[in-house]
Structure 1
Amino acid sequence: MQVGVFAKTFPGSEPAGVLAAVRDAGFAVTQFNLACAGLLSMPEDVPEEAVQAIDAAATASGVGLVALSGTYNMAHPDEAVRDDGLHRLAVVIKAAAKLSTPLVTLCTGTRNADDQWAHHPDNADPSAWADMAREMEKALQLAERHGVDLGIEPEQANIVTSAGDAVRLISEMGSKRLRIVLDPANLFERADPEAARAIVAEAVERTAGHVALAHAKDRFADGRFATVGQGVVDFADFIARLKATGFDGPLVTHGLSAEEAPGVARFLKGLV
């Protein structure tokens, strides 16, 4: 299991500097964001020179690119906004293929038109799931064409809120290209350590065989997000359970400052 970090944890818009910072903080791999190459996270185009610069920086730093962020609101109430997001996702997927990056991470979306990570009461309406599923079908066609996997993450504010939802969507889509990104801190909002451990354990068991990438973020008992090791998530238990299912993929941390990164790298490497 390789320990990594979101590239956006570190400031800068030059891939060489960002990936050197990832390496120097003690991480072997990264989930890259095109903003770290001076582009929009979801650009309309990725120039060939940008691809070359990212590839050269990865080679020079020795940092593996295990995922590329491709999030847009797949359940936005405005179809035109979804269409634009899909167009940009196609650009990201093509870039991932050129970089030999195996996974593009998604956001299953929300009916909140202002924030793709914010809850909306209409998320529970069957039409929200239907719109997201139609979007996912189109996204998977792109993924199949370019030989890239897509990762969905159970997230309390989004349409796919739970491990059960994620497995359901994979079943409905019927594509081996659709995988799961499992972040223990996104599986609940408020919990004490015992309850959090039980929720995470059930999710790991439910998603076994479908997880392509694990995230490492924490929560305080009152619901606020926290840096790994400071909240209620039992990461030793989470990692042990992932290993028991046969998972040997990347464990990528985020939601931390650049200054905290070396300490988190040491903490996670001590567990894996």
Structure 2
Amino acid sequence: MRLGIFAKTFPGTDPAAVLATVKQAGYETTQFNLACAGLPSMPDVVPADAVAAIRAAARSSGVLLAALSGTYNMAHPDKAVRDDGLRRLAIVIETAAALDIPLVTLCTGSRNAADQWAYHPDNVTPAAWSDMAAEMEKALALAENAGVDLGIEPEQANIVTSAGDAMRLIADMGSKHLKIVLDPANLFEHATPGEAHVIVAAAIDEAAGHIAMAHAKDRFADGCFATSGQGVVDFPDFVARLKGVGFDGALVTHGLPADEAPGVAIFLRRLL
């Protein structure tokens, strides 16, 4: 397993400076965001010099680019908004392929038109699933053509909320290019340490063999997100179970202040 962090944890729009900071904080890989190269996260175009700058930054820092963010609201109630998101995703997928980044991360979306990460009661409707699945089919066609995998992350406020939902979508799509990004803190909202332990363990068992990346975010019992090691997630057990199902990809932390990154690297590396 390789230890990583969201590049956006650190401020800046110069990829060389951002990735140097990633390395200095104790991480060997990153989930990159085009905002770290002075572009929108989902841009209309990625200039060739930006691709060259990111490639040079990865080489000079020694930081591997494990994934590239390509999130848009795949279940937005307005088809025109979904169409625009897919158009931008195509640019991100092309960029990932140009940089030899193997995974583009997605958001399965929400019927909440204002916020793709916010819950909406219509998320559980067949229509919401159908719209998201139609987007995913189009996205997978782009990814398969580019030789890139797509990663979906179960999120309580999104259409795909659990490992079971993710496995259902993978079965529906029938594509080897659709993978799971597993974040233990996104598998529940409120839980005791014991309840969280059971939920996370079951998710790893269900998703085994389909996990492309693991995230390392924590959550307090009251539902608020927390820095890894400070909440109810049993990270020693989480990492041990990932190893037990043969996962050897990137473990990527996020949702933490930049000044806490070095300490979290020490905490997680001990588990690896």
- State the AA in 1 paired with 2:45: D
Question: How far, CA to CA, are the matches of 1:266 and 1:116 in structure 2?
Answer: 32
Distance in structure 2 (CA, Å) of the matches to 1:98 and 1:257:
30
TM-aligned CA deviation for residue 46 of structure 1:
0.3
Q: How do 1:138-157 and structure 2 match up within 5 A?
A: 138-157=138-157
* Aligned equivalent of 1:123: 123
The equivalent residue for 2:196 is 196
SS in 2 for 1:13: coil
Q: Deviations over 1:192-219 (max 9, x none)?
A: 1000000000000000000000000000
1:14 equivalent to 2:36? Answer no
Match of 1:220 in 2: 220
Q: Which string of whole-angstrom CA distances, capped at 9 and with x for unpartnered residues, describes residues 7-59 of structure 1?
A: 00000000000000000000000000000000000000000000000000000
CA RMSD, aligned part only?
0.3
Tell me which residue corresponds to 2:38. 38
Distance of 1:72 and 1:21 partners within structure 2: 27
The gaps in structure 2 that reach 5 residues or longer are: none
Alpha-carbon shift at residue 271 of structure 1 (Å): 0.2
Aligned partners of 2:4 and 2:249: how far apart in 1? Answer: 10
1:54 and 2:54 aligned: yes
Q: Describe the SS at the equivalent of 1:66.
A: strand
The residue identity in structure 2 corresponding to 1:52 is A
- TM-score (normalizing by structure 2): 1.00
Check if 1:183 corresponds to 2:174. no
- Residue aligning to 1:85: 85
Query: Which string of whole-angstrom CA distances, capped at 9 and with x for unpartnered residues, describes residues 89-114 of structure 1?
Result: 00000000000000000000000000
Moved >6 Å (runs of 4+): none
Quote the Cα distance in structure 2 between the aligned partners of 1:168 and 1:177: 15
| Corresponding position of 1:4 | 4
Q: How many residue pairs were aligned?
A: 272
**Structure 1 length-normalised TM:** 1.00
Segments of 5+ residues of structure 1 without an aligned counterpart are none
Paired residue secondary structure (2:257): coil
Identity %: 73
1:95 aligns with 2:91: no
Once residues 77 and 178 of structure 1 are traced to their aligned partners in structure 2, the CA distance between those partners, rounded to angstroms, is 23
Q: Which amino acid aligns with 1:73?
A: N
- 1:143 aligned counterpart, secondary structure: helix
In the alignment, residue 267 of structure 1 is paired with which amino acid? Answer: F
